[in-house]
Amino acid sequence: MEIKKDFSLKLHNTFGLDVKAKQYIAVTSTEEIKHILKRFYASELFILSGGSNILLTKDLEKTVVHLQSQGKELIEENENQVRIRVQAGENWHQFVLWCIEQNYGGLENLSLIPGCVGTSPIQNIGAYGVELKDVFHSCKAIHVQSVNEEEFTKADCQFGYRNSIFKNKVKGQYIITSVDFLLTKKNHQLKTGYGAIQEELSKPAYHGEVSIKTISEAVIAIRKSKLPNPKEIGNSGSFFKNPIVDLSYLAFIQKKYPEVPFYQIDEKQVKIPAGWLIEKAGFKGMRKNDAGVHKKQALVLVNYGNATGQEILNIAHQIQKTIQKEFNIQLEAEVNII
């Protein structure tokens, strides 16, 4: 394991921010992680995975541990299902494509999400009507103090909307080393209910075929049409969570904006798209220097080249302040601000 000093993280965060780490170590196995945890105090370390859900606002006076473990392993299978163990450093989208090639169903709606497998449970990644928890079996994680590897079942993880125990009760206490997925081998549960998927699949290019492969292709096409490719324009996907409000509050907003979109969560609450609120507040497409709000999806903050994390954070704060004032809603960042 080579320790690099004053290492630029520009290529290792999808916002493309040129922030330096005091030290940087790439690790490729659980043994290497354990070795580092025994050598450093946990408080001296910063654990980096795909870098797709962080906004780095300053240089890191820590040792960055970059998780790069690779590997997929079939743990068990029967006629209908397969359980696959995937190492934390595997690229998420490449793993999804591999599953589709094997005809393993369950992850197709989660195509083209940036990041790595190991961080997927932390915020229970979700898109187009599917969340990670729907296919999650368990994960292994090392406790940073005891350096023991422990197993977390689905119930242990306490998954919620963009939420899990790893963001709450045990935040910063564990490093996830592998994730087990339960996937279907036949009778796949195809989920096309999310508006845009059906519309996309009805295009002639799909020849009326509805399968895990075409759903993945449709999701990729939809995402490409509205979300900026981090390789071209730095971004971290949705910057904020969609706020959850009571039905009575929705009715209040509807008086002024009868067209407000919403997703029903239960009999009492709905989620309002933060992108819609931000657009209504006039921020869509705004730009200050190289920091801005994406033209096609107001929920995505972008770095056009040389923005600093602080400039992006300033826009985020300005958005939060305005939405609070105009809608009396507190937008919560989905991205981790460092």
Catalytic residues: 162, 238, 334
Q: Binding of ligand EPU at residue 127 (CB under 6 A)? A: yes
Q: How far is the CB of 93 from ligand EPU (least distance, A)?
A: 13
Binding segment for ligand EPU (CB under 6 A), chosen from 202-210, 294-302, 307-315, 319-327, is 294-302
Closest by CA position to 11, among listed 3, 2, 21: 21
Binding segment for ligand EPU (CB under 6 A), chosen from 9-17, 54-62, 145-153, 293-301, is 293-301
Q: How far is the CB of 91 from ligand EPU (least distance, A)?
A: 16
| Residue bearing tokens 């049409």 | 225
Number of residues that bind ligand EPU (CB under 6 A): 17
Site track for ligand EPU across 163-202, x = CB under 6 A: ----------------------------------------
* C-alpha–C-alpha distance, residues 301 and 315, integer Å: 8
Q: How far is the CB of 46 from ligand EPU (least distance, A)?
A: 21
Nearer to ligand EPU, 147 or 260 (CB): 260
Instruction: Name the residue number minimizing CB distance to ligand EPU.
Output: 237
Q: Binding of ligand EPU at residue 159 (CB under 6 A)? A: no
Cβ neighbours for 191, distance < 8 A, ≥ 6 positions apart = 109, 128, 129, 130, 197, 215
Q: Binding of ligand EPU at residue 334 (CB under 6 A)? A: yes
Site track for ligand EPU across 229-268, x = CB under 6 A: --------xx--xx------------------x-------
Q: How far is CA 38 from the centre of its chain?
A: 29
Nearer to ligand EPU, 49 or 69 (CB): 49
Instruction: Give the torsion sign (CA, 295, 301, 329, 113).
Output: positive
Q: How far is the CB of 273 from ligand EPU (least distance, A)?
A: 3
Q: How far is the CB of 275 from ligand EPU (least distance, A)?
A: 3
Q: Binding of ligand EPU at residue 299 (CB under 6 A)? A: yes
Interface with ligand EPU by CB under 6 A: which residues? Answer: 127-128, 226, 237-238, 241-242, 261, 273, 275-276, 279, 284, 297-299, 334
